[in-house]
Amino acid sequence: MQSFARGLEVIRSFSAQAPQQTLSEVATRTGLTRAGARRILLTLQTLGYVDSDGKLFRLTARILDLGFAYLSSMPIWSLAEPVMEALVEEAKESCSAAVLDGTDIVYVWRVPTHKIMRNTLGIGSRLPAYCTSLGRVLLAGLDDEAVLRCLEANPPRALTRHTITDTQTLLTKIQQARKQGWSLVNQELEEGLLSLAAPIRDRAGRTIAALNLSGQVNRTSAKVAQEQLLPPLLRAAQTLSERLRLGQTG
Amino acid sequence: MQSFARGLEVIRSFSAQAPQQTLSEVATRTGLTRAGARRILLTLQTLGYVDSDGKLFRLTARILDLGFAYLSSMPIWSLAEPVMEALVEEAKESCSAAVLDGTDIVYVWRVPTHKIMRNTLGIGSRLPAYCTSLGRVLLAGLDDEAVLRCLEANPPRALTRHTITDTQTLLTKIQQARKQGWSLVNQELEEGLLSLAAPIRDRAGRTIAALNLSGQVNRTSAKVAQEQLLPPLLRAAQTLSERLRLGQTG
C-alpha cells in the first residue's frame, strides 16, 4: 500500500507555487525516483486526475471529486450554508466553519462579506489550532490530556506580539472556552484581526465543527465584538447544532 | 499501480448518501474484496485521511488537502473571486465558475446571491456539459471534431421538455457560442432556470474556464437576461481573462 501513499503525495505536490510540474520536479518534491514519479503520474493521467502536454503535468478538475466526497459526506454542510449566510447578513462580518485535523484547523466552508478587508482563506486551507478562536473551541471539545498532547505535538510559537505560547495559559484559555461555550481570540494570529468562535455539537454532544465571525480590531473592538457579534454567533451555532440533531437536511 | 486506483475509488465511495460506511459497505460500493477494502481503509487511516470508531469509517478533513492542491494550483481562482463578487453585486444573480472534465462541467467556484431561490450547487459538483451554458461555452473552446466526440461519448438526453438532444442542433448552438463569445441556455437543465455563460481565456487564447450568471425565468426572461445580464457578464469574463494574461495574482 506504499504506492497509494506515494500517489497521494504526488497529488499534494501540486500547489499555487507549483501548478505545473515536470517529471523531475515531481520527483524532487516527493522524494520519489524519476521512474516512480513517472509511474504514478501516468496512472493519474490514465485515471483522468492529471493532464499533460508531454512535458508539464497538471491536475484536472476531477481531483475535486475527492475533496467533494468529503464535503458531501457530511450532512452538516447542506445545513450550515443558509445558517452561515443569515449570520453574515446580520453580523456584517465574514463567517467560516472549520474542523480539527490533528493540531490544525481546516476550513470547510466560508461566507465572506463584501467588505474590502476580509478573510480570504479558502476551503481546505489550514491554520494552527492554538492561536485561532475556531481552534480553541475545537480543542475545548477534547479532554485536557488530548489538548496537552496536541499542544506538545506542535509547540505554539508567537505569530504576533499577542500570541499566547505558554502551554498552561493556553490550557486555561481552552478550559474557559469549554466552560463558557465560545472563544475570543484577539490578534494572536494576525495583527489587527479579531475572531469569535462557537462549537457545533452533534446528537451525542460532541463538538464536530466550529463557526466563527472575524473582524478588524480598528472597526470592532473586543468589547464591541462580545456585545454585538457574540449573541448572533451563539444563536447560529445553536440553530445549526439543533438542526443537526434533528437530522434536517433540507 | 492498481492499488492506487482502488484507493481513490474507496475515497470516492463516501458521499452524502454514504457519509459513514462499514468495511462491507465499502467493499460492496467499490467492488473490492473485504480484505482489499480493509487494507486500503487501514492505509487511509494511517495516513490520516480516514477515521474510524472500529466499525464505521468516515473521511477526515485531510481529504480536502487533495482538492485544495488543485484549487490552489490554479492562479485563476485568486483572481476570479473578487471579479465574481463584483459581478454578483452588480447583476444580483448567482455566479459560478466551471471547467470542462470529459463530458461534464465541474464547478470550481461559486458566489451565491442572498435570494431565497438560488443555485445550490457546490464546489466540485458536476453537470453534463451539453445542456448548460457553462458547458456550451467550454465545448466551444474545442474544435468541432472534439465536440462531436464529447457528444457521442455521453449521448444527450432530455432533462426538461426544452433540452436539445440532437447532435447537429447542439453542434450548431456550440458553433454559435464560439462565434458570439457567449451562450444562453433556457430551461434545458431544469424547468424555470436560465443561464448565460462566457469563456475565460488564457494568454494563448485557449478557453480554460467559464463564468456564468443564472436566474429564474419567471423573474428574468431570456430577453431581459440578454439585455441586462449579458453586458456585465462579458465585462467580468473579459476582466478576468485580461488579469490572467497579465498574471496579476494580487
The residue in chain A having the minimum alpha-carbon distance to the alpha carbon of residue B103 is A62
Mean per-residue pLDDT of chain B: 88
Pairwise CA distance, residues B181 & B203, whole Å:
16
Q: How many angstroms away from the CA of A158 is the closest CA of chain B?
A: 25
pLDDT recorded at residue A52: 93
pLDDT recorded at residue A116: 41
Mutate to test the interface with A, among B60, B62, B78 (most CBs of A within 10 A): B62
Whether residue B101 is predicted with pLDDT greater than 90 in this model: the reply is no
Cβ pairs A/B, distance under 8 A:
173
Q: CATH for B74-246, among 3.30.470.10, 3.30.70.100, 3.40.50.740, 3.30.450.40?
A: 3.30.450.40
Contacts of B10 by beta carbon, 8 Å cutoff, 6+ apart: B26, B30, B32, B37, B40, B41, B44
Question: What residue has cell string 451565491?
Answer: B112
Q: Using an 8 Å Cβ cutoff, are A11 and B69 in contact?
A: yes
> Three cell numbers at A45?
493521467
**Secondary structure class of A16 (helix, strand, coil):** coil
User: Per-block average pLDDT, block size 10, for chain A (250 residues)?
Assistant: 84 88 95 93 92 91 83 74 87 88 85 55 81 96 95 92 96 97 96 95 89 91 94 95 72
**Cβ contact (<8 Å) for B16 and A40?**
no
pLDDT recorded at residue A114: 62
Domains A2-66 and A74-246 share a fold: no
> Would you list the domain boundaries of chain A?
2-66, 74-246
Residues of chain A neighbouring B99 (CB-CB closer than 8 A):
61
State the SS3 of chain B. CHHHHHHHHHHHCCCCCCCCECHHHHHHHHCCCHHHHHHHHHHHHHCCCEEECCCCEEECHHHHHHHHHHHHCCCHHHHHHHHHHHHHHHHCCEEEEEEEECCEEEEEEEECCCCCCCCCCCCCCEEECCCCHHHHHHHCCCCHHHHHHHHHHCCCCCCCCCCCCCHHHHHHHHHHHHHHCCEEEECCCCCCEEEEEEEEECCCCCEEEEEEEEEECCCCCHHHHHHHHHHHHHHHHHHHHHHHHHCCCC
Backbone angles phi, psi at A105, to 5 degrees: -100, 145
Which among B85, B83, B76, B156 has a CA at the least distance from the CA of B108? B76
Tens digit of pLDDT for each residue in B174-231? 999 999 999 999 999 999 999 999 999 988 889 989 999 998 899 899 999 999 999 9
Whether residue B8 is predicted with pLDDT greater than 60 in this model: the reply is yes
pLDDT recorded at residue A82: 83
* Overall average pLDDT of the B150-156 stretch: 91
**Cβ contact (<8 Å) for A124 and B59?**
no
Tens digit of pLDDT for each residue in B102-134? 888 988 887 877 654 344 456 777 899 999 999
Q: Using an 8 Å Cβ cutoff, are B140 and B207 in contact?
A: yes
Q: CATH for B2-66, among 1.10.10.10, 3.30.565.10, 3.40.50.300, 3.40.50.1970?
A: 1.10.10.10
Pairwise CA distance, residues A249 & A76, whole Å:
8
Query: Which H helix or E strand runs over A41?
Result: helix A34-46
pLDDT recorded at residue A67: 80
Whether residue B37 is predicted with pLDDT greater than 90 in this model: the reply is yes
The residue in chain A having the minimum alpha-carbon distance to the alpha carbon of residue B118 is A82
Dihedral sign of CA atoms B101, B105, B111, B112 in order: negative
Rounded (5°) CA angle A6-A10-A15:
145
pLDDT recorded at residue A28: 95
Whether residue B248 is predicted with pLDDT greater than 70 in this model: the reply is no
* Overall average pLDDT of the B150-171 stretch: 94
The interface predicted TM-score of the complex, written ipTM, equals 0.76
Question: What residue has cell string 454578483?
Answer: B88
Amino acid at position B211, single letter: L
